[in-house]
Amino acid sequence: MPDTKQHIKLPEHSLEKRTTTLNLGPTHPSTHGVFQNIVELDGERVVSAEQTVGYIHRAFEKIAEHRPLYQITPLTDRLNYCSSPINNMGWHICCERLLHVKTPKRVDYLRIIIMELARISDHLICNSIVGVDSGAYTGFLYVMQYRELIYEIYEEICGSRLTTNIGRIGGFERNFTNEAFTKLEKFIKEWPGVLKEFENLFNRNRIFMERTIGVGPISAERALNYGFTGPNLRAAGVDYDVRIHSPYSSYEDFDFTIPVGSTGDCYDRFLVRNEEMWQSQKLIEEAYKKVQDFKGKEAEVFHADVPEYYLPDKKDVYTKMEALIYHFKIVMGEIEMPVGEIYSAVEGANGELGFYFISDGGRAPYRLHFRRPCFIYYQAYSELTKGGMLSDAIITMSSLNLIAGEMDG
Amino acid sequence: MSLTNEIIRQHLTEKFGEDVYDWDEPYGMLTFTAHKDLNLKVLQFLFDDPTLQFRFLTDLCAVHYPNKKGEEIAVVYHLHNLVNNVRIRFKIFTDINKPDVFSTTALYAAANWMERETYDFYGVNFIGHPNLVRILNADEMDYFPMRKEYPLEEQTRVDKDDEMFGRN
């Protein structure tokens, strides 16, 4: 038998090492995004996990310091790209607060419809992926066609599907078409049945429950200390929701429930997201009813009357002097910006999406910081997975709903 | 009893006197500044005080003011009292040549990555941080890109090899 020691150079102490180091990612089918996890394994148990993020960092905060407000909207699309309309609206709402723009009620309700659709599509991806990672592919395939329908609604409104760049400061770029409302009605009618079916597949499924109950739990106290927000925090039992605590876009006109869990494990996170989808459905229905109640001229309103911030209609630009002037000023970034600083947050699909905006009166923000919920709660991953099985670590990751775009900013 | 900005201000002035200053309320959010050596004491007080209870660190970031000599870098904490639903903003300023600030990781687990991000982009040296290394940028980077002296790349530059980007 030849002496292997002569030919193969083993690292020092490698034979004494009791644990295995495993690289998950940066591109791995079970990581759902470009990020790396270096997991230290003892058998199949996770001893520690070290995360590397930043693979798709695009320096949005730096770019935003050199762009007029309306050019920052497409940057926000690319944060949490599973629900870009919420990011867009959050950004518009931040600018409107800074500029003291008051939006009409109809705009608020239309925004709520769009934001809740985005929330559904985001939670849908997350929950169905949790299913896939626990071995149940059916749900994922079954509900995907309704995400498609949501994307078609976006398409009717703004022309794009994933990175939507939807709306403007003060409202929307155009009124919703009849086709958009028809598609929305179809969604409202068919979606509850689909969601019910989806729940039937999972909620009391023995295998699914065994795979998720008690997996990746976090206590309310630790979750708060880790800066959790959104469904992940609510699954731990804290009923914090920006829509209730600091309402925006007329959420105070609506009656809805904030579901909370108790153990903060994967199963609770799954249930909280499911229930939030039901609540979103209810909100959409209510908002649509309120939108239909507007009669006459009011039913045509789709933006606030703020010519100095809202880009005028193209045909007015060619025919009216005033519109031409405003168009020029807005496009060249010459609008009057108040000096000040503001922190404005919306309830993103993953949690509190905040914009910290410092304006020095210039054409671009002096400083713009995005509070990206994913980035903040991902640091708890190591604590969540410690001592569990490797396969549980995978489910924990998907049930946290980590979106690489939001993490890297 | 709801917690108003006046009560918060009163509590802080009682405890720290003249060491907390620059009181302001832009868009309704109470904003104040303290000397940078006091940041942990102020944050701990805000955390522990039974009336204040600012226990949730919403956000931590830095801002660069190149014209403020001696206090070029601001570190901004956004804190949230979830019981009374009040937010405040707390700032400290530090010299860019000696950007040493005490780390709050012992108080908030959430501060870990936020401080790493702030270090990564502004070079704030958080003393006591367990693992202060770059997080979003490449490890071998030798400057802090969000500082104002680094401009965005010239959009019209032509000296780049387009073939490398799949264009020709």
* ipTM here: 0.92
Q: What does the alpha-carbon distance between residue A272 and residue B35 come to, in Å, rounded to a whole number?
A: 43
Q: Collapsing DSSP states into helix, strand and coil, what is residue A99?
A: helix
- Report chain B residues whose CB lies below 8 A from the CB of A232: none
Tell me the CA distances in angstroms from B107 to A227, B41, B54, B110, B112, one per residue in order: 12, 11, 11, 9, 10
Let me know: does A220 contact A238? Beta carbons within 8 Å.
yes
Residues of B whose CB is below 8 A from A97: 27
Q: Shortest CB distance from A53 goes to which of B27, B136, B145?
A: B136
CB contact under 8 A, B113 and A378: yes
The average pLDDT across B96-104 equals 94
CB pairs under 8 A between A and B: 86
Measured CA to CA, the distance from residue B75 to residue B99 in angstroms comes to 10
Q: How many structural domains comprise chain B?
A: 1
3-state SS of A246-283? Answer: CCCCCHHHCCCCCCCCCCCCHHHHHHHHHHHHHHHHHH
Is B92 contained in some domain? yes
Per-residue confidence band for B6, with pLDDT thresholds at 50, 70 and 90: very high
Distance, in Å, from the CA atom of A141 to the CA atom of A238, rounded to the nearest integer, reads: 32
The string of pLDDT tens digits covering residues A266-289 is: 999 999 999 999 999 999 999 999
Would you place residue A375 in the very low, low, confident or very high pLDDT band (cuts 50, 70, 90)? very high
Q: Do B58 and A371 touch (CB under 8 A)?
A: yes
pLDDT of residue A5: 53
| Residue B152 falls inside a structural domain | no
Does the pLDDT at position A24 exceed 90? no
Q: Which residues contact B51 (CB under 8 A, 6 or more apart)?
A: B3, B7, B11
Q: Do A62 and B85 touch (CB under 8 A)?
A: no
**Does B151 fall in a domain?**
no
Nearest chain B residue to A355 by CA distance is B59
Q: How many CB atoms lie within 10 A of CB A29?
A: 9
Q: How confident is the model at residue A18 (pLDDT cuts 50, 70, 90)?
A: confident
Q: Provide the pLDDT confidence category of residue B168 given band limits of 50, 70 and 90.
A: low
Cα–Cα distance for residue pair A329/A322, rounded to 1 Å = 11
Residue A335 pLDDT: 83
What mean pLDDT value characterizes chain A?
Answer: 91
Report whether B145 contacts B122 (CB < 8 A): no
Cα–Cα distance, A111 to A171 (Å, whole number): 8
Residue B164 lies in a domain: no
Averaged over A115-124, what is the pLDDT?
A: 95
Contact indicator for A208, A136 with CB cutoff of 8 Å: yes
Q: Which residues of A touch B108 (CB under 8 A)?
A: 225, 227
Phi, psi of B127 (to 5 degrees): -80, 125
* SS3 sequence of A315-326: HHHHHCHHHHHH
Over residues B22-77, the pLDDT tens digits come to 999 999 999 999 999 999 999 999 999 999 999 999 999 999 999 999 999 999 99
Per-residue pLDDT tens for A220-235?
999 999 999 999 999 9
Contact criterion met (CB below 8 Å) for A228 and A381: no
Contacting B with CB below 8 Å, chain A residues are 53-54, 57, 59, 61-63, 66, 97-98, 222, 224-227, 238, 240, 245-246, 340-343, 345, 352, 354, 356, 358, 366-367, 369, 371, 375-376, 378-380, 408-409
The reported pLDDT for the residue numbered A94 is 95
pLDDT of residue A350: 92
Place of tokens 């802090």: B144
Strand segments (E) across A25-159:
36-42, 45-52
Please state, for a pLDDT cut of 70, what percent of chain A lies above it: 95
- Asked if A66 lies within 8 A of B152 by C-beta distance, the reply is yes
Instruction: Give the integer Cα–Cα distance in Å for A123 and A174.
Output: 27
Please report whether residue B56 resides in a domain.
yes
pLDDT at A33 exceeding the cut of 80: no
User: Does the bond joining A26 to the residue before it have cis omega, within 30 degrees of 0?
Assistant: yes
CB atoms near residue A151 (< 10 Å):
16
Burial class (CB in 10 A: 0-12, 13-18, 19+), B52: buried
Q: How far is A218 from chain B (nearest CA, A)?
A: 13
In a 10 Å sphere around its CB, with 0-12 CB exposed, 13-18 middle and 19+ buried, how is residue A13 labelled?
A: exposed
| Cα gap B54→B43, rounded to integer Å | 8
Nearest chain A CA: its distance from B1 CA (Å)? 17
Spell out the long-range contacts of A68-72 with Cβ–Cβ below 8 A and sequence spacing 24 or more. A68/A330, A68/A331, A68/A332, A68/A333, A68/A335, A68/A363, A68/A364, A69/A95, A69/A169, A69/A333, A69/A335, A69/A364, A69/A365, A70/A168, A70/A169, A70/A311, A70/A330, A72/A365, A72/A368
pLDDT tens sequence across A304-317: 999 989 988 889 99
Q: Is residue B159 part of a domain?
A: no
pLDDT of residue B164: 67
Q: Where do the DSSP E strands lie in A323-366?
A: 339-347, 352-360
A287, A113 Cβ separation under 8 angstroms: yes
A59 has pLDDT over 80? yes
Neighbouring C-beta atoms of residue A146, cutoff 10 Å: 18
pLDDT in tens, A136-151: 899 999 999 999 999 9
Label residue A331 by pLDDT band (50, 70, 90). Answer: confident
Start-end of H helices in A159-258: 178-202, 206-212, 220-225, 230-235, 242-245
Task: Show the domain range for B132.
Answer: 5-146
User: Is B157 domain-assigned?
Assistant: no
Question: Is the pLDDT confidence value at A240 over 80?
Answer: yes
Statement: the pTM of the whole predicted model exceeds 0.80: yes
Residue B156 is assigned to a structural domain of this protein = no
Q: Please name the residue that has the structure tokens 């969601």.
A: A195
Q: pLDDT category, A30, cuts 50, 70, 90?
A: low
Strand, coil or helix: B143: coil
Task: Give the CATH number of the domain where residue B84 resides.
Answer: 3.30.460.80
Chosen from B31, B65, B80, B116 to mutate, greatest number of chain A CBs within 10 A: B80
- Name the DSSP letter for residue A162: S
pLDDT surpasses 90 at A29: no
C-alpha A51, offset from chain centre: 21
Taking residues A22-33, report their average pLDDT. Answer: 74
Contact criterion met (CB < 8 Å) for B55 and A340: no
| Residue of higher predicted confidence among B79 and A2 | B79
Mean of the pLDDT values across residues A382-406? 91
- Strands (E) in A53-166, as ranges, are none
Let me know: does B168 contact B162? Beta carbons within 8 Å.
yes
pLDDT given for residue A332 in this prediction: 84
Query: Which amino acid does the sequence have at B76?
Result: V
Contact by Cβ (8 Å): A118, A276: no
Give A226's contacts in chain B (Cβ within 8 Å): 109-110
Lowest-confidence region among A19-33, A88-102, B154-168: B154-168
